[in-house]
Structure 1
C-alpha cells in the first residue's frame, strides 16, 4: 500500500504472535444471581417507561450525524469509543460523556471502533478502508494502514493483532504497532464478518455469496470451506463461535442460521418457521412477508448450551444447541440489530430499530427490563463483561449509556 511498508511474516513470526499464554486467568465460574435480576411489573414499567422516557445515565452528543459504532474498554468499562457518519471518532467517559480525545484523520464514515483485549489500544476503521490505532493512555496515534473498503474490524483476544475484512474479499492480519502484516487471499467476494476461534490460531469468515471459511493463521490456508448447497443462499451477515471452539453459528439474509462444526460439517439449519406460534405469529408492528426474513445477529450463550438468533422483523429465537430445538421465542416490535449474552448468566441483551434495548432470560423467555431514550434506530451496542453497562449508538446522532440496575432505582 502506498505510504506503508508491507511485511509478510514467516512461520516463526506468526507462531510467536499467536502463541497462547498458559498463565492466563481462568474464566469465572457461573454464579447464581438470577433472583437479584428479576423485576416485578412495576419495576419493569420504570425500566421501559412511556414514550419520551430516557433511561440513560449518560448521553454522548459530540457526533453530528448517525453513530454507527460503539465499543467499551474491556478492562474497566469506564470509557467508550464511538464512530459516526460525520467521519469522526471519539474516546469518552461513560460517567459524564466528557470527550477524552478525538481520533482524527478519517475522511469517510467511521463504521468500526474496537478496544484491544487489555484496553491499551483502540482501533478505528472507516468505510474507505483507513484503519488507525490509538494509545488509550495519551490518545496518541500509533499506527495506520489503508486496506480498501472496510467491512469489519476486530482484535485478537490475547495479543495486539488486528484483523479486518474488505468488500474486495481480502482478510488482513496486522501486528500492531510493528506493522507486520499478512493477507488471506480474496476470491472476489466480500468478506462480510469474522470471528477469531477460541484456540487463537484460526479465524472464521463469512462471505457475501453465502460461503463460510475457516483460515489457519500460520499457514494462511483455508481449512474449512462451506459453500454451494451446504452454504447460505445469500450473504452471511453475522458469525459467532461456541466457547469450546467446536461449533460456528452463522446468520444470513437468506433467513437461515446455520450450526456448523469447525471441522467443516453443517450440523443443523435453524429456521424462523421452527419458532412459529399460531397464537402470535404477527405481533404489533411486525409485517408478514413471503420473502425470507434476514438474520441480523447470532450469539452463543457462555453459561448454558443455548444460542440466540435475531431477525430483521424483531423475532428473537433461543435455541437449545444440544437438541437443536427452539427453547424460547421473544418478540421485539422492530428489527433486531445486535445481540450479546451476559458473560455469566443466561441473559441476552438485544437492541432494535425502534430505539429500545431489551434484556431477556434465555431460559424462560421473560423480559427482565428494557431501556429507552433513543429517538431513532439503535445501530450498535456494547455490553461490559459484568453486564452492568450497556452503550448504544443511534441514528439520532447520540451514544447512550445505560446501567443494568438503572431500572431498579427510585
Structure 2
C-alpha cells in the first residue's frame, strides 16, 4: 500500500501527432500524446490521460458513434480496442503495416481501415462477448498509391477513400448492383480530405495544392440496389459452390473487391451511379510552401475547415464556397482539424509546437488553448500546498500547472535560454527559475509578472538553484565559473559570491531547519555553507566521485548525495559522518541506443542518478536518471523497495536492452540512414543518389531519460519530468482494503447499531478499524453538527490523525464545506498540542488539508465578491429608480415608498448575511 503508486496523469504534453476526435456530446477532445491518449474536458476545464499505452507513438484514433469505444493504432500497425467508459483495453490486434486512417460507419456496425493502397472493412465489435473482436468483411483495392483519408455517407451505405495518387475512390459497403466502386480524378496533388454531403452521394474532395472539387451524383442513396436476385436452383447451387471455394481459398481475409476499368457498353447496360464535376475552386495561397495539410467538414451546417502549413485556417460554406473567415493561429503546420457534433467548436492540432487549440468560430474566441514545452522538460517543483506544479524546459519557458485540473494556466517566456531549475518559495505564490542565459528570475503568481531579475557581475550559466525557507535568500550555482551567487529577494541585490569549488556546481539545497546551504560539485565534494556566520564553509564532505545531486531530508537531520559512480550516499549534517551507501548502478537498467557500438551492460557502468527527492515522511528516497526506470529506496534499510517503468514507448531511443537484428544490414544499422523530414513533407533532393535533404529537418529520435523528480507535499503522489512529459504517479487508495486493528465484532451491522444508539465516538472508532471509505463517510455525516466538538474531545489519540486525513480527502470533493470545516477546526483546536509533538509524521496530512481549504477559498472568494458587487449594484439601481419615481409621481403614497425601501434594505442585509 505504501508504495502502490500508479500512473495517474500526463502533463506538459497535449498533442504530438495523429488525428483529433471530439466526444459524442462535443464537450471533450480526444488527443493522442505520444503513445498515450489524453481526454480534455472543455466544460469542466480538466484533463485526463487514459492508463493505457501502445508500444510506439500513436498515428490515428477512431471513435465509435456512441462514444463508448475507440480504436488506437500506433506507427507499426499495432491496434488496441479501448473502452472509453471503463478506460480498459478490450482487445489487441495487429495490422502488420502502418495505418493511415480509421473511421467508424455512422450506424456503428462497421469500420474501415486504410493501409498502403488497401481499404479494409471490418465488423465493429458488438456488445456481446466475442473471441475475435476484429472480423474482416471486405478488402477494397483501387488506388495505386497510399491511402490518406476516409469518409462515410450518412446512411452508411458507401464510403470514399482518398489517395496519394490524386484519385478518390467511392466504394459500396454492400454489394450494390449499380455502385461497386467509382474513381474520381481532377486533382494535381495528393488528396487531403474527401467528404460526402448530408443524405446524399454528392462528394467534396480537397487536395494538398489547395484545390476543391465538387462532385454531383446522378443517383440518390435510396436508388442503390442490392445484387441479390431470384435465380434458378441450378445457378444458385453452382454460385454457392463457387462462393464456398472462394472462401476456402481466401481463409479469413473476407471478400476482395478490386477496382478495374469497365467498358462504356457495360456501364450503359448496368446503369451504374455516375459522377460529374460540378465546379472547382482554389484556396488563396501565400507562397509555394503553403500547402493545405488538413481538412474537416461538418455535414449539418455545410462548414468546411482547412488548415495550411503556414498556420492559417479557412472556414468556407459549401457548396457556394463562401469564405466565412480566415485566421492564423500559429506559425507552424496545422497537423489535424476536427469539428464537434454541434459544429460550434473546431479543434486544431500542431505537432511541431505541441499545441492543441479549440476555436469557437461564431464568437471568434478560444475555448481551449494549451501548449506543452517545445523541447524537453528540465525541472519541476511542487508548491508547498501541492496545488501547483512549476516546470522549466529547454525552450526557455516556465509553465505553472494546476494539479487538480492538470492544465497550464500561466506561461512565462522571459528567459532566452534553457531553464535549468525551478522552485517555489515558502509562500507558494512566487516561482523562481534559473537559466543558462545568465539570469535568475522571480515570478509573481498573483499578478503573473516577472518582478525580480538576479544577475551576476560576470555572465555565468546557472545550472542549480535553491531558495531558503524564509524566501529571503536566493542562491544559484554556475557551471562555468564554479561559484555560488547569493541574492536578497527583498532588494534584488547580490549579497555574496561563494568561491571554493573546483568544478561546476551541480546542485544546491537549503536545510529546512537551519540556515545552512549544501552544494554538490564535480570536484567530488559537498560543502555546507553557514548563512549566519559570514557565509563561511561549515563542513566539507569528501565524496568518492563527482557530485550530481544533493537534497535534505524534510526534518533536516540527513543529507543524500548522488554521485557519478551510480551510488547514493547518506550523511549526517551535524557530525559530517557518512551513515550509509546504496549502490544503484545496476538498478538503472539502461537500454542500448540504436547507434551505440557498446552493449547496454557495458554502458551502464558510466551511468548514474541525476535527481533525488525524499518522501514526505523521510523514510524513502526517489531516484532517477538517464533511464526509463525510477527507483524508490528505503533509507533506513538501504535497499530497493520498488522500480517504476515510466515508459514503454519504443519510439524513444535507449528503450531496449538489445538491438533488433532485423534492423542490421551488412553496412551497419539502419538507424544511421537518415531519410529526411517527417510529417508527410517532401525532401528536396539536390543531386542524384543523395538520400539526405535539408539537415535542419532531419529525423530525430529522442532518448528516454528522467531529468527531475519531486514528491508531492501531501505524500500521495510524485511527479517526474521525462522525455515523454510530466508524469504524475499517485496512490489509488479507494480500491485497497487496509483494515486497522480488526476483530470479529467489527462489522457494518455493529457500526450502524452504534449509530442508532447515538454512540458517535464508538461508531467512528469501529468504522476506522474496518476502514471502508463509504462506511466512514456515512458515519461522520450522520453525527449531528452540535455534537462534533464533544466527539472530537472524546476521540482516542490514535484515531485523531486518521480522522484528520480522512476529513482532508473529503473536503476536496464534498459540498458540505461548513460541516467538514467544523470537524477540522475542532480536531486542531482540541488536539493541537499533541499533533505538534508529532509534526514530522502529520505534516503530509496537514498539507493535504491546507490544499483542500485553499482550493475552496480561491473558488468561493471570487464567487462571493462577484455576488456582493452585483447586490450593491442592484441596490444602487433600486434607490436611483425610487428617487426618480418620487419626482415624477408626486401623488404617490409615502407609506408605500417607505415600506418598499425597508424591504429592499432587509433583502440586502439578508443577502450580505448569507455571503
- Counterpart Cα distance in 1 of 2:602 and 2:369: 37
Q: How does 1:21-40 map to 2 (within 5 A)?
A: none
What is the TM-score of this pair, normalised by structure 1? Answer: 0.64
1:319 partnered with 2:633: yes
Match in the other structure for 2:707? 337
Conserved? CA contact 2:387–2:402, under 8 Å: no
1:225 partnered with 2:535: no
- Counterpart Cα distance in 1 of 2:407 and 2:549: 30
1:192 partnered with 2:562: no
Which 5+ residue runs of structure 2 have no aligned equivalent? Answer: 9-48, 59-71, 73-83, 88-353, 357-367, 594-598, 647-654, 656-703, 737-846, 852-915
Residue 329 to residue 70, structure 1, CA distance change in 2 (3 Å): closer
Conserved? CA contact 2:527–2:537, under 8 Å: yes
- Counterpart Cα distance in 1 of 2:557 and 2:716: 20
1:287 partnered with 2:600: yes
Deviation at 1:315, TM superposition (A): 3.9
1:251 partnered with 2:255: no
Q: For this pair of structures, how many residues does the alignment match? A: 320
Residue 304 to residue 268, structure 1, CA distance change in 2 (3 Å): closer
92, 102, 117: which one aligns with 2:426: 117
Match in the other structure for 1:182? 496
Match in the other structure for 2:443? 134
Deviation at 1:68, TM superposition (A): 3.6
274, 281, 301: which one aligns with 2:615: 301
Deviation at 1:386, TM superposition (A): 4.8
- Counterpart Cα distance in 1 of 2:377 and 2:586: 35
Deviation at 1:222, TM superposition (A): 1.4
Secondary structure at the aligned position of 1:288 is classed as helix
Residue 306 to residue 135, structure 1, CA distance change in 2 (3 Å): closer
Conserved? CA contact 2:378–2:707, under 8 Å: no
Secondary structure at the aligned position of 1:48 is classed as coil
Conserved? CA contact 1:308–1:317, under 8 Å: yes
1:47 partnered with 2:356: no
Cα distance per residue 1:255-279 (max 9 Å; x no partner): 1111111121122221126769xxx
Conserved? CA contact 1:164–1:173, under 8 Å: yes
- Counterpart Cα distance in 1 of 2:718 and 2:400: 26
148, 152, 156: which one aligns with 2:464: 152
Secondary structure at the aligned position of 1:128 is classed as coil
Residue 64 to residue 222, structure 1, CA distance change in 2 (3 Å): same
Residue 88 to residue 239, structure 1, CA distance change in 2 (3 Å): same
Deviation at 1:207, TM superposition (A): 0.2
Residue 224 to residue 339, structure 1, CA distance change in 2 (3 Å): same
- Counterpart Cα distance in 1 of 2:568 and 2:562: 4
Cα distance per residue 1:363-407 (max 9 Å; x no partner): xxx9xxxxxxxxxxxxxxxxxx759x9xxxxxxxxxxxxxxxxxx
Conserved? CA contact 2:379–2:707, under 8 Å: no
Deviation at 1:141, TM superposition (A): 3.3
Conserved? CA contact 1:283–1:331, under 8 Å: no
Secondary structure at the aligned position of 2:51 is classed as helix
Residue 354 to residue 108, structure 1, CA distance change in 2 (3 Å): closer
Deviation at 1:176, TM superposition (A): 1.1
- Counterpart Cα distance in 2 of 1:82 and 1:347: 16
1:77 partnered with 2:387: yes
Secondary structure at the aligned position of 1:289 is classed as helix
What is the TM-score of this pair, normalised by structure 2? Answer: 0.31
Deviation at 1:192, TM superposition (A): 0.7
Conserved? CA contact 2:376–2:723, under 8 Å: no
- Counterpart Cα distance in 1 of 2:4 and 2:397: 42
Aligned-residue CA RMSD (Å): 4.2
Match in the other structure for 2:318? none
Higher gyration radius (CA): 2
712, 724, 729: which one aligns with 1:359: 729
Cα distance per residue 1:318-361 (max 9 Å; x no partner): 33322323333444555433333343447654454455736377
Conserved? CA contact 2:623–2:632, under 8 Å: yes
Which 5+ residue runs of structure 1 have no aligned equivalent? Answer: 1-31, 40-44, 367-384, 390-410
Residue 274 to residue 68, structure 1, CA distance change in 2 (3 Å): closer
